[in-house]
Amino acid sequence: MSKLSLTGRNAVVTGAASGIGLAIAQRFAENGAIVHLVDLDAGNLQQAADLIQRSGSKASPHVCDVSSEKSVAAAFREFSGPIDILVNCAGIAHVGNLCSTTPQDLDRLFAVNVRGTYLCMRAAIEGMVAAERGCILNMASIAATRGISDRFAYSMTKGAVLSMTLSVAKDYIGHGIRCNCISPARVHTPFVDGFVAKNYPGQEAEKMKTLGESQPIGRMGTPAEVAALAHYLCSDEGSFLTGADFPLDGGFFNLR
């Protein structure tokens, strides 16, 4: 059997109703995983699960607010068997600098991006420790390690995700648990389309061109490209990797 096979493994993917989370869920399911899709968007979540199930793969939807301890606990009780893979993709964005970011903005970003990642890892870790195996993959961002204009609160949360990743990798390496993160630059998702349409009406094509050219490679990434890296990191092919941050950024980090 290929070391990229995920056959029979229980995988939980948060933020799985669309974008990167959905692409990862699909990729895992195509390679044999039993995928539990977690998201707050019940309608799109069900559609995502139906899409995967129609392909003959195994997927189940679980409506969950990752910022809520009670909601996370309830969702994780629904999963059958130990969790082999946890991918934390649920997150929200924000545009603003220090002065324009309100305390309410900061709290909202922290609740989903940081607290949500913490709660899901905490819910999964006990079973992984008992099984003496497991893989956790968090979605950070290039904003965690590079200064990006008008991303004050967002950068703060992704820096925290990176730090949590390193801490969990260190604390649980002796239990056979690996923890890594991916730091994408701009990825073309439905969120980007909606953001551009809302904030730049009539200038969508020009703005999308600018967003693409901000990466030295000349375009935005795709959810499928993030999913391919996630698949490798969570498979046996990536078994020597832990405590690492992988910039998937079209050259943004080193070439810009």
Question: 3-state DSSP call for residue 155?
Answer: helix
DSSP calls for 40-93: S-HHHHHHHHHHHHHTT-EEEEEE--TT-HHHHHHHHHTS-S--SEEEE-----
Distance CA 233, CA 230 (A): 5
Which pLDDT does position 116 carry in this prediction?
98
Which pLDDT does position 1 carry in this prediction?
66
Distance CA 187, CA 247 (A): 12
Which pLDDT does position 196 carry in this prediction?
86
Q: Classify burial at 95, counting beta carbons within 10 Å of its beta carbon; exposed 0-12, middle 13-18, buried 19 or more.
A: middle
Report CA-CA distances (Å) from 5 to 29, 32, 35, 230, 232.
Answer: 10, 7, 14, 13, 10
Distance CA 72, CA 197 (A): 32
HSE-CB for 214 with a 13 A CA cutoff: 17
Nearest-CA neighbor of 95 among 35, 162, 166, 143?
Answer: 143
Which pLDDT does position 177 carry in this prediction?
98
Structural domains in the chain, CATH included, are 10-185+221-247 (3.40.50.720)
pLDDT tens-digit map of 15-54 = 999 999 999 999 999 999 999 999 999 999 999 999 999 9
Write out the H or E segment, with its range, that includes residue 241.
none
Write out the H or E segment, with its range, that includes residue 138.
strand 134-139
Give me the catalytic one of 154, 172, 200, 232. 154
Distance CA 62, CA 55 (A): 19
Helix axes 69-77, 116-131, angle to 10 degrees: 40
| φ and ψ of 245, to 5 deg | -115, 125
Residues of the chain with pLDDT under 50: none
Report the 3 state secondary structure along 199-228: HCCCCHHHHHHHHHHCCCCCCCECHHHHHH
Q: Is 172 part of the annotated catalytic residue set?
A: no
Nearest-CA neighbor of 99 among 143, 153, 146?
Answer: 153
Tokens of residue 96, six digits: 């603003």
Where do we find the tokens 């290929």?
2
Query: C-alpha angle 74/61/196, rounded to 5°?
Result: 110
Distance CA 181, CA 203 (A): 34
Provide the whole-model pTM.
0.96
